[in-house]
Amino acid sequence: MKIAIILFSPGGNTLKVAEKIKQFAPNNFCVQLLDITGREEIFTRKQGTRFLEETVTDHDLLLIGSPVYAHHIQYHVQDLIRQLPRPDRKWGELAAAFVTFGDISSGIALNEANRLLEKSGRKIIGGLKVTAEHSLTRLLDSPINNGKPGHEIDEIILNFWEKIIARLNKDINVRELKNNMNYQPKKDRVKAHIIFREKLWQKFLYPKISIDPEKCTLCGCCVTKCPVNHLQIINQSLCELKTSDCITCGNCVVNCPQKAMMMTGNIDKFAEMVQQYRAGKSKIASNEFPKNQCF
């Protein structure tokens, strides 16, 4: 059995899960792991389909990994699924998505991935969600879920494989499976569609990065850590490129040795939201249980 795992992981959590999926795959499975984070072909040259066609090797099962951003799968992963070639002799017909989220809500991410994968001609045979460190809270004194995921997810990954293996070459009730992944109450699903709109939030609500040219030594750390190639050093100055928008992952801020990168804007409001979440009074968190779950 050949497996292709394609993932996007700005903060590294989704990559950790993908690596565990690869590690716990049965010995006779051949697994290709493709991390698209920071790939020029996708974010600079915008040649997603060509890149996928040239890079992904033939497989029976495709696994797609994404972080949850604003209750959805991150929009670059949505785009990636839309760019997938239709199943054929090289591109397998079976698919499953896995997502990591920062404990607040996994929203409708799995639903959304399933819908897009089905639209691409694939059959859904499973799904996985894992709670992890909230990457944006790395900017605060104590991040939510600091250090996760770790060994606590080993069992769920093994369960995920058991379920997938049991469904290979079998007729399964895909509708029932998808219904199980439709676990959010209707009001939360409606909110995800109407209120949590990632691109709008990036534009108007999320904090913005700002560069202090006095402190910046042009070391290039932020350039290499930016998952969407939004930053570039041009003519001895650090620039934000309009060709690839910032997705507010916070990598540039947490990795800048000179502390020249900052987040400005609604940081206080964000910190307040995190406090409300910790006090169990969050208006945006769902009562999701269990947080780690495979389908």
Ligand X SMILES: Cc1cc2nc3c(=O)[nH]c(=O)nc-3n(C[C@H](O)[C@H](O)[C@H](O)COP(=O)(O)O)c2cc1C
Nearest distance from C-beta of residue 82 to ligand X, angstroms: 20
Q: Which is nearer to ligand X, 120 or 131 (CB)?
A: 131
Q: Which is nearer to ligand X, 94 or 130 (CB)?
A: 130
Nearest distance from C-beta of residue 284 to ligand X, angstroms: 7
* Residue whose C-beta lies closest to ligand X: 11
Nearest distance from C-beta of residue 240 to ligand X, angstroms: 16
Q: Which is nearer to ligand X, 175 or 281 (CB)?
A: 281
Cα 226 from Cα 76, distance rounded (Å):
14
Nearest distance from C-beta of residue 179 to ligand X, angstroms: 22
> Footprint of ligand X on this chain (CB under 6 A)?
9-14, 67-71, 100-105, 107, 132-136, 206, 248-249
Q: Which is nearer to ligand X, 92 or 102 (CB)?
A: 102
